[in-house]
Amino acid sequence: MQTNEFIAHFDSYVMGTYNRLPLVLVRGEGARVWDRDGNEYLDFLAGIAVCSLGHCHPRVVDSIQKQAERLNHVSNIFYNEPQAGLAQLLVDNSFADKAFFCNSGAEANEAAIKLARRYAYENKPGQSPEIITMKNSFHGRTLTTVTATGQEKFQVGFEPLPPGFCYVQYDDLADLEGAITEQTCAVMVEPIQGEGGVRVPDSGYLQGLRTICDDHDLLLILDEVQVGVGRTGSLFAYEESGITPDIVTLAKALGNGFPVGAMLATDRVASVFVPGTHASTFGGNPLAMAAGIAVIKSILNDGVLENCRNVGIYFREQLCGLAAKHSIIEEVRGKGLMIGVEISSDGNGIVKSAMKKGLLLNCAGGNVLRFVPPLIITEKDVDEAIQILDEVMGDV
């Protein structure tokens, strides 16, 4: 089958929920992927911030292979060793006392929303709990997380939406304070908005959120599904602000491609999740946990965070150099290796042209080129990407 025939074949069997690029990827190694025709691409999207250690990282592959030969799955009505292993790694290296495992970012956020509501049920009897989230946010595609998502375009046609959410401006503490009522139980926020266009808030924003939550006895839920697990140059994005949240959600990079989601919380909050309140058949599955253990160990011990910080600075410098040359670039922003380049037109043309020249990236929020490459990329990889972008922008 030719590639165009394969694409038609694929589309005849798989639901059309994506505007897919016409690229059929068959292999990956490090920061590179190959299509079925043998063409090589520099992958600066990494499965959208998923393959942070690079494709098929040997340590992760080895861990999954060994676990696959030993025990793939058991019910959570039994104990399993890898689940304790990943929980301990996450707890020992964070604010949290306990972890709950699931399979995706949306599920981790569902768990966080349920936990916050249950906490209110136990501690604020009679409250009809409401969670404040941010305009332009993204929290997932299940009915509840799409409702938590402060973007109408993801909600249209799926009404009736579950109640219990209201939205305020991101990076605007006054707007948040004005929206708090007797019913408010929690604030849920991304430390950097990802899908909303790589929006980095003011440096005091998380501290301000913490103070407001403390003053009003609200839980602070951080959605670190995209920014967590090393992406900003620290294991968790909240670390750089010096605050401690009550709940953090993770997914994406946690399995480096194996589906793993997690919700972390303090004992005070986690204690309301008693037997029967929440569950997941696959959550904490030994195979997924084996992947997660290898990921966290590698991020903590292999110099990944330092590389992310250093190459992130270099990449942003080079992008600013491009901005001086191409007036289409309006702003370069981000932290670590989560970088957004806002341009003055729709970015999809640039994404397609870059792909044809061997560089993968995507658009967030329409006119923001998003770069979330593996955290192990080198300055040489950045130089290659910059050269392609330079050529593509020169053609615009």
Binding residues for ligand PLP (CB under 6 A): 104-106, 109, 138-140, 190, 194-195, 223, 225-226, 251
How far out from the chain centre does Cα 210 lie?
21
Which amino acid belongs to residue 231?
R
We find the least distance from the C-beta atom of residue 223 to ligand PLP, in angstroms, to be 5
We find the least distance from the C-beta atom of residue 118 to ligand PLP, in angstroms, to be 20
- Stretch (H or E) spanning 9: helix 3-13
**Of the two residues 55 and 139, which places its CB atom closer to ligand PLP in the complex?**
139
We find the least distance from the C-beta atom of residue 140 to ligand PLP, in angstroms, to be 4
**Of the two residues 130 and 224, which places its CB atom closer to ligand PLP in the complex?**
224
Burial profile 41-55: b = 16 or more Cβ within 10 angstroms, e = fewer = bbbbbbbebbbbbbb
**Of the two residues 221 and 329, which places its CB atom closer to ligand PLP in the complex?**
221
We find the least distance from the C-beta atom of residue 392 to ligand PLP, in angstroms, to be 25
In angstroms, the CA 381 to CA 263 distance is: 33
We find the least distance from the C-beta atom of residue 138 to ligand PLP, in angstroms, to be 5
In angstroms, the CA 98 to CA 311 distance is: 33
Sheet holding 247-250, edge to edge: 98-102, 261-265, 247-250, 219-223, 184-189, 130-134, 165-168
* β-strands 247-250, 40-43 pairing: unpaired
What residue is closest to ligand PLP based on CB? 105
In angstroms, the CA 73 to CA 93 distance is: 26
DSSP 29-77: EBTEEEETT--EEEESSHHHHT-TT-BT-HHHHHHHHHHHTT-----TT
In angstroms, the CA 79 to CA 276 distance is: 16
We find the least distance from the C-beta atom of residue 357 to ligand PLP, in angstroms, to be 26
Which amino acid belongs to residue 123?
N
Helix, strand, coil percentages in the chain from 3-state DSSP, rounded to 5: 40, 20, 40
**Of the two residues 369 and 389, which places its CB atom closer to ligand PLP in the complex?**
369
Peptide bond into 22 cis (omega under 30): no
**Of the two residues 190 and 246, which places its CB atom closer to ligand PLP in the complex?**
190
**Of the two residues 195 and 381, which places its CB atom closer to ligand PLP in the complex?**
195
We find the least distance from the C-beta atom of residue 196 to ligand PLP, in angstroms, to be 9
**Of the two residues 253 and 323, which places its CB atom closer to ligand PLP in the complex?**
253
List the catalytic residues: 138, 223, 252
How far out from the chain centre does Cα 191 lie?
11
Six token digits for residue 219: 């839980």
List, in order, residues 6 or more apart from 206 with CB less than 8 Å away. Answer: 191, 222, 238, 241, 243
